[in-house]
Chains A and B, each alone.
Chain A
Amino acid sequence: MHSKSRYIWAYMMIAPTLIGTLIFWSWPAVYSIYLSFLKSENFGLVNHWVGWANYERLFMDEEFWQNLRNTILYVVLFVPTTIILSTFFAVLLNAKIKGQAVYRVIYFLPQVTMAAAAAMVWVIIFAQDYGLLNSVLGTHIAWISDKRFAMYALVMVGVWGAIGFNMLLILAGLQGIPRTLYEAAEIDGAVGFRKFRSITLPLLTPTLFFTSIVLVIGATQIFDSIYLIIGKTNVALPAVRSLVYAYYQNSFIYYDQNYGAAIVNILLVINLVLTGIQFMLQKKWVIYD
């Protein structure tokens, strides 16, 4: 075959995405690294090289460490909860039940809901005086302005939003598991949870591995729910402020895009390290057949 022309076709087909990725993702990432070594004036039109000064300031900044701890706490709470619940619902929806499609749509709904609109609804649910959550629980908790609870509120919103899509991925993984394995197991006398533990879970690990990587990266970048639900005059903000929120504040509110760039570069390093660790650990638990 004309292998050369086939390559050209292939490149043409991926060009729109590739060009978009380069312009809107790669270039800003590289430029952020450059920005973090500058002190910019006049909206970034005048720049002075300051070396590591922004990073030195960062490491001395107690607020940065707090934001880092908040981000890590969010990841630790959000990722496992999402994976466990997504798997749970995926297994349920994989069974032959009536109205399967309806349930799948219901769980997938958060994915197609506008984040801002959903956030407004959550604010009402969390409201202290007349909120749904408090009236169901019979409590009077300031879910989003008490620093002991605000993080859990955010995790709740995050998990709610993430289950649908991840459930779909896991569902696809489940359907890739051959029926014959279960039949064989049944002949051997395996039932219920035993089938899940010995067949489903091991064969699902490649999917779980993929979702966990995507979830961790996504979770470290939490911003919108803090911005929309917590808000900038909330007394609990310091207890939930993430690195990306701090980046937004510094870059766009305080006009300090250099300091902001330093913050996201730290985040980039963290994500590279985390993903690297996950890839190293995968040998221990992911089973490819």
Chain B
Amino acid sequence: MNIRKKMAAGIASLLLVSLMVGCNSSNDGGGATDGGAQKNVTISYTIWDKNQQPAMEAIADAFTEQHPNIKVKVDAIPWGEYWTKMSAAAPAGMLPDVFWMHGGQFMKYAEGQFLEPITDKVQANEIDLNNYASNLVSIYTMDGQNYGIPKDFDTIGLAYNKELFDQANIPYPDDTWDYAKLAEVAKQLSQPDKGIYGFGAKLDTQAGYWNDMLANGGFILNDDMTKSGYDELASIEALKARYQMILDKASPTHQQMTDTDSVEMFKSGKLAMIFDGSWDNGNLASSEIIKGKYDWAPLPKGKVKRGNIINGIGNVMSTKGKHKDEAWQFLKFLGSKEAAEITAEMGAAIPAFNNTQDAWVKNNPDLNLQVFIDQAGDATPYPSGSKSYPVWFSKEAEIMSQAWGGAISIEEGAKKVAEMMNQAIEGAK
């Protein structure tokens, strides 16, 4: 009995000691670096695209070379969990020092005062926002305050597998194509018994049917962002046309594309054509199977115009960061020409910094990346900038998956989405 008690006491005191040691060491982390202008700090930079992580790390390294006392830790959280994590981190005061911002989420974070305004730095000429296209700057502006520095922009292109076209003896897509041609060729290229399909008529917004809806004369949100355009006849018609490709067996089914994403199917040579964003070129290029066998074309023309969604990521910093001066230095560097050039040369994304886009295009001379730059001119901005976006955007996919999976009709789905969006807009007022 006595021995047992002694042992228990021993274990308990061991535990206590280790607890205390634990506390101490965590205190050290913050305290040891106090004092001195050149204190060593590590700041966090969080992004959502793993494919861009090498480029972002290269930028961070270039920055540390200039500021040896500031280290940058780059973390990639997948898009699917990114905003869940951020929404938990924001009220806890745990947002990363610097992180990627999306136009749809921006207002929620800016209004909540989680983002550090940079207006005074702009006025002090620490940074020149004229270096970026003005419509990209305006995404991250609220009530006259600037919060973000544009990182890149993206448009959508039609990626096609040259090999599958060659085998079928069909000329490659070009800027004369319209949606009817797309559907026709997709049917010709499909060999469902071999698991090869002409087009990935996927349930997707930005790189999916939003472009179809715009091209057909529909819209996603009206100009003052008060009403959904999903129940417009032109929008419904466009959605039906896309879904028809699944019924025609010109595209894999929704289930097949849920099991294996259409981008992955394209990467494994099973899909002849997909819509995809400029940001994803690095991902496509990483596939050994289609390397050198794919290229890009502009999106097809619709009844009214060539639809295309343009969007841009911004870099922002947290108001609650412990090292705001250092974070600002890094944010500024992210907006520099040097960072843009690294982004372009590593093929990560189309940089937002004026006149650095060419490097991105030239970096892949075998690919017709110019289509992304050319389409930017008359592209439609991503329908963000409303407070209700985070709500309706996630519910949209849930309702549309019922339609895409065949549980309800496309028309019913579109009308349900419109109703839900209008309610969300009303609720966010």
Contact = CB atoms under 8 A, between A and B. Distances in A.
B404 interface: yes
Given A16-B15, A43-B90, A254-B391, A232 B402 contact: no
Contacts of A256: 391
Interface in B43-80: none
Interface string A26-55: 000000000000000011110000000000
B367 to A, nearest CB: 30
B87 A235 contact: no
Given A43-B87, A254-B391, A237 B398 contact: yes
Nearest to A123: B259
B377 interface: no
Contact of A233 (B114, B256, B258): B258
B256 A129 contact: yes
Contacts of B9: 9
Contacts of A249: 394
A127 B407 contact: no
A9 B397 contact: no
A13 B12 CA distance: 7
B407 A235 contact: yes
Given A253-B394, A255-B87, A42 B258 contact: no
Nearest to B204: A233
Contacts of B195: 129
A145 interface: yes
Nearest to A239: B407
Interface string A89-128: 0000000000000000000000000000000000100011
Given A13-B8, A254-B391, A254-B395, A231 B258 contact: yes
Interface string B76-120: 000000001001101100000000000000001001101000000
Interface in B31-49: none
B390 interface: yes
Q: Is the interface of A mostly helix, strand, loop or mixed?
A: loop
Contact of B84 (A9, A12, A44, A252): A252
Contacts of A12: 12
Contacts of B398: 232-233, 237
B363 interface: no
Nearest to A257: B87
B111 A255 contact: no
Contact of B406 (A42, A127, A235, A253): A235
Given A45-B91, A252-B84, A254-B394, A237 B12 contact: no
B12 A235 contact: no
Contact of A234 (B12, B114, B258, B391): B258
B250 to A, nearest CB: 17
Max chain A Cβ within 10 angstroms of own Cβ: one of B12, B108, B404, B405: B405
Interface string A228-251: 000111111110000000000100
B401 A237 contact: yes
A229 to B, nearest CB: 11
B198 to A, nearest CB: 18
A253 B203 CA distance: 19
A142 interface: yes
Contacts of B87: 43, 252, 255
Nearest to A41: B112
B255 interface: yes
A249 B255 CA distance: 21
B84 A235 contact: no
Given A127-B259, A255-B391, A233 B203 contact: yes
A128 B402 CA distance: 18
A18 to B, nearest CB: 14
B242 interface: no
Nearest to B91: A43
Interface string B336-350: 000000000000000
Contact of B254 (A129, A235, A252): A235
Contacts of A237: 398, 401
Nearest to B400: A233
A123 B407 CA distance: 21
Contact of B402 (A16, A231, A235, A255): A235
B425 to A, nearest CB: 14
Nearest to B203: A233
A234 B401 contact: yes
B84 A234 contact: no
Given A253-B394, A254-B391, 19 more contacts: A9-B8, A9-B9, A12-B12, A13-B12, A16-B15, A43-B114, A45-B112, A123-B259, A127-B259, A128-B255, A129-B259, A142-B255, A233-B258, A234-B258, A234-B405, A235-B404, A238-B407, A249-B394, A252-B88
Interface of B: 5, 8-9, 12, 15, 84, 87-88, 90-91, 108, 111-112, 114, 195, 203, 254-256, 258-259, 390-391, 394-395, 397-398, 401-402, 404-407
7 contacts: A45-B91, A129-B256, A235-B401, A235-B402, A235-B406, A254-B394, A255-B390
Which 4 A/B pairs are nearest by Cβ-Cβ distance? A235-B405, A43-B91, A233-B401, A42-B112
Interface of A: 9, 12-13, 16, 42-45, 123, 127-129, 142, 145, 147, 231-238, 249, 252-256
